[in-house]
Amino acid sequence: MRVIFTVLFLCVIVFVVAGFYLGWFRVSGGQGGGKSHVTMTVDQSKMNHDKDKVVNDVKNIKPASTRPAPVHSPNNTSGVSSTDNQMNQ
């Protein structure tokens, strides 16, 4: 149970740090009338924009099966490249 709470706590910390880094969260403060105040702003439009960008990038990933296979030279069956052969001669 303790491990689960530790993992959840670390996930929250990573989310908050990433949020500040990516500009999702902003903290500001000020003083007036002998009182101090702190305001945390959450930029939901920035969060949605970044989420949509990630979803779009994931949708555009091509499966490995559609990538072209590496081309092997039929003359070179020893596993040594032609530049290696030239260097050894």
Looking at residue 63, its pLDDT comes to: 75
Report, as an integer, the average pLDDT of 11-15. 96
% of the chain residues with pLDDT over 90 = 62
Phi, psi of 29 (to 5 degrees): -150, 170
State the Cα–Cα distance between residues 18 and 7, nearest whole angstrom: 16
Per DSSP, the chain holds a count of helices (H) and strands (E) of: 3, 2
Name the more confident of 79 and 9.
9
The two three-digit tokens of residue 88, written as one number: 């050894």
Residue holding tokens 């002998």? 34
Length of the chain in terms of residues written = 89
